[in-house]
Amino acid sequence: MAEPSWSNALEALADNKFVLGDQLVDVGISAPELASALAAVAMAQGELGHARHLYHWSHELQGISKEIRAESGKALSVLRHHENWIELMVSLLAVNVAARVLLERLRQLNEAMVVSKTAKMLVEMAEHITFAGEWCRRFRAETGAIPGLFQAALSRQSDAICAWLRAVDAEIGGGSDMDMANAFVREMEMVCGPVTVRHPA
Amino acid sequence: MSTSVEYRAYAVFARSQRGGPLYQIGFVEAFSDALAKTYANLTYDEENWFELCVVPLDELRWVIEPQGVSAKGESGRGGAIVEQRAGSAG
């Protein structure tokens, strides 16, 4: 059974997806094209569904049962507000890549319950990663101010997520405290090119 | 966004169940194949499809191309009808 020490990580991930889901609706409707705006709203439903699933799982590990009315306050502050579509796509990519790294690490426990709880979510997250990754590759290849805005957002979100993943690694123990953060950076670079992250001193 | 990015139109095809017919159910427009697939999956979600695929319209290779019935347009369709009417009037 997944250790109760994972419950904080799952709840924090749920908070991040909860906040991201809201932003996908608030900012997503201002997408550059109608199809993307519709896709953003559809993915908002997906993110909120993942959040609900993760909250229930976290509560199960804690042995409690409570109604979910709002996020628990663990969401990263960089996810609470997005100025534009560029920042939103970077967040969508970063949160889902981080979620995939974290859930794959959990699946290494090789428990049937963990595998069954994560299978459908990982398939849906792959689609969100594909969508956001395509837009991020486009931003990088654009002209004018867009590549600079993209790079700034990518560094900012990646820094915040790496710091969070290091904290999760430190809390759950059992490995190098750079494991998940490094895995996150590697996956992000495979999807959208070089990522500059500040490393802890 | 710059206008130099090339968008392609894709036809969306779906099959409801194994052995059933493959129908065109719509169109999407996107700047990459991966994005077109995502748009199709998210937009045409009214059914739990057995199969769903996208094909760029410029990759279709017509064997029998339908002829239009209205006046000759850019594609040249309907030109035969317009010519017939012009011939019968003169």
Distance from CA of A121 to the nearest CA of B (A): 16
- Inter-chain contacts counted by CB atoms under 8 A, chains A and B: 40
* Residue whose C-alpha is closest to residue A179's, from A166, A194, A198: A166
Q: Is residue B65 part of a domain?
A: no
Q: What CATH superfamily classification does A6-192 receive?
A: Ferritin, core subunit, four-helix bundle (1.20.1260.10)
CA distances from B73 to A5, B61, B76, B78 (A): 68, 20, 5, 7
Look at residue A200 in the predicted model and tell me its pLDDT.
55
What angle in degrees, to the nearest 10, is found between the helix axes of A179-192 and A112-141? 50
Answer whether residue B42 shows pLDDT above 80. Answer: yes
Sign of CA dihedral A150, A155, A159, A162: positive
Look at residue A176 in the predicted model and tell me its pLDDT.
54
Q: What is the CA radius of gyration of chain A?
A: 16
Is the distance from CB of A92 to CB of A24 less than 8 angstroms? yes
DSSP notation for A113-159: HHHHHHHHHHHHHHHHHHHHHHHHHHHHH--TTHHHHHHHHHHHHHH
Q: pLDDT band at B2, cuts 50/70/90?
A: low
Average pLDDT, chain A: 90
Q: For position B18, which CATH number holds?
A: 3.10.20
Strands of the sheet with B8-15, listed across from one edge: B23-30, B8-15, B51-56
Q: pLDDT band at B69, cuts 50/70/90?
A: confident
Neighbour-count burial of B42, counting CB atoms closer than 10 A to its CB (0-12 exposed, 13-18 middle, 19+ buried): buried
Distance from CA of B32 to the nearest CA of A (A): 8
Is the distance from CB of B10 to CB of B53 less than 8 angstroms? no
Tokens 């969401």 map to which residue?
A75
Is the distance from CB of B38 to CB of B54 less than 8 angstroms? no
From A32, A35, A142, residue closest to B29, measured CB to CB: A35
* Residue whose C-alpha is closest to residue A119's, from A106, A135, A137, A129: A106
B45 vs A138: CB contact, 8 Å cut-off? no
Q: For residue A196, what are its two tokens?
A: 């500059």
Using a CB-CB cut-off of 8 Å, the residues of chain A touching B41 are: 127
Helix or strand run (H / E) with residue A87: helix A85-107
Note whether B41 contacts A: Cβ–Cβ < 8 A: yes
Domain count for chain B: 1
Domain range summary for chain A, segments of one domain joined by +: 6-192
CA–CA separation, A179 and A156 (whole Å): 20
In this structure, the dihedral spanned by the alpha carbons of residues A139, A144, A150 and A153, taken in order and rounded to 10 degrees, is -160
Look at residue A119 in the predicted model and tell me its pLDDT.
93
B42 vs A38: CB contact, 8 Å cut-off? yes
In sequence order, the 6+-apart residues with CB closer than 8 A to the CB of A65 are A59
Q: Is residue B6 part of a domain?
A: yes
Look at residue A199 in the predicted model and tell me its pLDDT.
64
Look at residue A20 in the predicted model and tell me its pLDDT.
97
Sign of CA dihedral A153, A159, A161, A164: negative
Point out the residues of chain A with pLDDT beneath 70. Answer: 1-4, 174-178, 199-201
Look at residue B81 in the predicted model and tell me its pLDDT.
45
Say which amino acid occupies A88: L
Look at residue A45 in the predicted model and tell me its pLDDT.
95
Residue B9's domain spans which residues? Answer: 1-60
